[in-house]
Amino acid sequence: MPDLLNLQTLIAAATSGSFAGAAKRLGISPAMVGRRIQALEQEYGVKLIERTTRTQRLTEIGSRFLLKANRIIDELEELNDISRPDAEALSGRLRVSAPTTLGIKRLAPVMAELAERHPALSVELNLSDRNVDLVAEGYDLAIRIGELKPSSLIARRVGSYHFVCCASPAYLERFAAPERPEDLRLGRCILNLNLVPRDEWPFETEDGESFTVEARGNIEIDNGEALRMAALAGAGIIYIPVDLVAEDIADGRLVEVLSGWRKLVLPIHAVHPSRRFVPGRIGAVIDAIARGLRG
């Protein structure tokens, strides 16, 4: 029977494309990755991975071995799930990718609660605004904002991401607050480079009619926190996720404008790779995230 750590290491090396990538994912050294794979090769008397100084690839036998290794790991995950004496207790390790702002404002508290309730569960939360490759980079779960492109990933909607228009009291003292979205053509806007296109801000009437208006300004920023700071400094009106400025609006540091029109609302999805068996901890974490986003 092969050592399970060695099997997991082979899977990590194959999906990440390198020993260094596998080492980073598993929290070990590249040398340890090499020793574990060498142990598998010696145990079975076959070559699993061909390596040069620049590339690595699975041998034909290595590809077949990998399929079996994945099946064994899945079977053990399933066995662990059905044999736990306490079905509510979660254990194991989970790697999660999420957008930066959502992760800081909404997901970090969810992870803290999970850690308190399930001490045997280890969650690694990586925050980045790029869409990671879940399989190649070894993620069990990703949270994504916006419409999803067609893929083999399993997706579940867990919430909605709302936007708001706001500006500082100092700005509104110097310049008239816009009374209609069309007034943004005359105002000083701070353009959000994460919106595409950056200078067309979407709105919706109470009757459900959608439209965009051209927003004009001489500052363009690609980071939500920087947009917030520029607005607090009185530089102009921003179109930004509510999560970033909710406390500022509640405390009066920023003032919502154009409240009579609905702003952009994007879906939030949890996605994970398609596999024969999905460990219970993945579903439980998705449930916890959905509850946290509703709160």
pLDDT greater than 70 at residue 110: yes
Q: What mean pLDDT do residues 34-59 have?
A: 86
Residues 129-155 as b/e (b if ≥16 CB within 10 A, e otherwise) read eeebebeebbbbbbbbbeeeeeeebee
Decide if pLDDT at 228 tops 70: yes
pLDDT reported for residue 255: 98
Task: Tell me the per-residue pLDDT of 161-202, one tens digit each, with 9 for 90 and over.
Answer: 999 999 999 999 999 899 999 999 887 999 999 888 889 999
Q: 147-151 long-range contacts, Cβ below 8 Å, gap at least 24? A: 147/266, 147/267, 148/269, 148/271, 151/271
CATH 3.60.15.10 fits 161-265, yes or no: no
At residue 83 the predicted structure's pLDDT band, cuts being 50, 70 and 90, is: low
Note the pLDDT of residue 194.
Answer: 86
* Residue 204 binned pLDDT confidence (cut-offs 50, 70, 90): very high
The CATH number corresponding to 4-83 among 3.20.20.210, 1.10.10.10, 1.20.120.1780, 1.20.1250.20 equals 1.10.10.10
Domain-wise residue ranges, the chain? 4-83, 92-159+267-294, 161-265
Average pLDDT score over the chain: 88
CA-to-CA dists, residue 4 to 35, 46, 76, 127, 207, angstroms:
14, 18, 10, 29, 59
pLDDT number for residue 9: 87
- Rounded Cα distance, 127 and 139, in Å: 12
161-265 has the same fold as 4-83: no
Q: Which of 47-61, 74-88, 115-129 has the lowest mean pLDDT?
A: 74-88
- pLDDT band, residue 84 (cuts 50/70/90): low
Name the superfamily (CATH) of residues 92-159+267-294: Periplasmic binding protein-like II (3.40.190.10)
Per-residue confidence (pLDDT) for residue 258, from 0 to 100: 96
Q: What is the pLDDT of residues 22-40, one digit of tens each?
A: 888 888 898 998 899 889 8
